[in-house]
Structure 1
Amino acid sequence: METMDAILTRRSIRKYLPDPVKRDVIENVLKAGMNAPSAGDEQPWHFIAIDQHDLLEKISEVHPYAKMLKGTPAAVLVCVDQHAPKFNDFWIQDCSAASQNMLLAAHDLGLGAVWIGVYPVETMIQELRNLLNIPAHVAPFSIIAMGYPAEEKSGRMRYDTSRIHSNSW
């Protein structure tokens, strides 16, 4: 898939076929995440690949906007090692770039995916830390749910010239 095609046709998919996502496919999605840009090339991220149905269901119970995880074959929890960043607060952009790269890679690989926000909601951060034994210095940032799509959504053009300003507001 060409890059612009992937960007312009990717949509958030929340319904998945029950087919498992093979580990090598998840690994390719993770490679895309780890190849995102980061401030000072710090790469402050860690990822938890999750494909156990009972664990995905438990996450859906503690996260009010993650109900789709009950029927999701796989997910990746994007986390940040808060001891790592040289550039305080830029880890948010770093983990956002990694999350977006994974969404685009999933789309390119024929998967449907959706970004589920976690950070900065402290209750969700703590619930996920407890559930997944995440150390205190590591913060869950986002969940990328993925699977073979059981719904189809066409791309939609969001380009809006009224939002573009040249050289000043």
Structure 2
Amino acid sequence: MQTFPAEILKDTAGRLTYLPLPFSAREIFHQPKGTIYVQGTINGIPYRSRLLSRGSGCYIMLIDKVLQKSLGFCGLPLPVSVTMSLDAQAQPSGAPAVPGPSLSPCAMDTITAVKTRTSVRHYTDAPITPDVLNTLLYAGMCAPSAKNKRPWHFLLLEDRNLLTELSAANPNARMLAEAACGIVVCGDHNIEGTNVFLCEACAAATQNILLCAHSLALGAVWCGVLPHSPWQKLLTQTLNLPPKVSPITVIALGHPAPSATSPEKAAPWDPAKLHRATW
């Protein structure tokens, strides 16, 4: 963790608001190549971002409008106190791999899981074991993403009071009140930068978790989070999400209650949806 004084500046063209670093980021953070992702605080306000090279070993960090507003930046040089460290959750491609967790075996083949998965909204009181939870989260992290940026974060919700509070605030998420746990799939705008690709990556991670849950005999349902909705704001505030990290989906999980089981659903083959080469 580096702690240093700095100034937030606006360039002469008035397009960029940035913070120059008083040291060589590659040397300090031991990153010989690739993008350097960082996190920390500015005047006590948390941030997550990446560094841009200005050549000759000089680096800057761009300050987005949300952080500018939080800091009270008005366009004039603003002295600030900064803490900064590498963002391990956004480590660049090629960084040393972290050993994976212990995983639970899934006996169901892929096409059966895809064909028979249904949304389950009622659960028993049985807990979900740590190995199973790790397997679900690992499945989410295996999802595809544009340029392999992996712009997601997963928040595991197991506190009963918190699940009940989030359930009461959204009639479409009432099942959270009886779920064994919830997983909030969040998108990191600092990593992805493009809203469309951010949502696509998080949706792919969500589908991986849903299919994995079904193959492990768990019940799950996907609750969407509308942008700028009251529920999105509640999730952001209640979960203390950092700037530019948005909740994209919420997954309720549990062991299916007997009343929640359903027969194998018919394969949704619809020739009318298939087009070859042209419409």
Q: By the TM > 0.5 criterion, same fold?
A: yes
Say if 1:48 and 1:89 are closer, same or farther in 2 by CA, change over 3 A.
Answer: same
Q: After superposition, where does 1:44-59 map in structure 2 within 5 Å? A: 44-59=151-166
Match of 1:104 in 2: 211
Match of 2:275 among 156, 159, 165: 165
Asked whether 1:94 is paired with 2:201, we answer yes
Q: After superposition, where does 1:114-133 map in structure 2 within 5 Å? A: 114-133=221-240
Counterpart secondary structure, 2:196 = coil
Mapped partners of 2:228, 2:217: distance in 1: 31
Match of 1:30 among 115, 126, 137: 137
Instruction: List per-residue Cα deviations over 1:38-97 (Å, max 9, x = no partner).
Output: 000000000001111111101102223101111111110000111111555211110000
Mapped partners of 1:119, 1:156: distance in 2: 30
- Residue 165 of structure 1 deviates from its aligned partner by 1.0
Match of 2:179 among 69, 72, 82: 72
Letter in 1 for 2:136: V
Mapped partners of 2:230, 2:113: distance in 1: 34
Which structure has the bigger radius of gyration? Answer: 2
Which shows bigger deviation, 115-124 or 126-135? Answer: 115-124
Which shows bigger deviation, 19-28 or 101-110? Answer: 19-28
Say if 1:136 and 1:120 are closer, same or farther in 2 by CA, change over 3 A.
Answer: same
Answer 1 or 2: higher relative contact order, Cα 8 Å, separation at least 6.
Answer: 1
Q: How many pairs does the alignment contain?
A: 169
Match of 1:153 in 2: 262
What's the C-alpha RMSD, in Å, of the aligned pairs?
Answer: 1.2
Instruction: List per-residue Cα deviations over 1:108-145 (Å, max 9, x = no partner).
Output: 11100000001424322111011111112110000111
Mapped partners of 2:155, 2:205: distance in 1: 13
Match of 1:14 among 121, 129, 148: 121
Mapped partners of 2:195, 2:228: distance in 1: 19
Match of 1:42 in 2: 149
Letter in 1 for 2:275: H
Say if 1:143 and 1:162 are closer, same or farther in 2 by CA, change over 3 A.
Answer: same
* Structure 2: 5+ residue stretches without partners: 1-107
Mapped partners of 2:145, 2:242: distance in 1: 22
Runs of 4 or more above 4 Å deviation: none
Which shows bigger deviation, 83-92 or 156-165? Answer: 83-92
Say if 1:149 and 1:135 are closer, same or farther in 2 by CA, change over 3 A.
Answer: same
Mapped partners of 1:135, 1:100: distance in 2: 25
Say if 1:162 and 1:69 are closer, same or farther in 2 by CA, change over 3 A.
Answer: same
Kindly indicate which of the two structures has a greater share of residues assigned to strand. Answer: 2
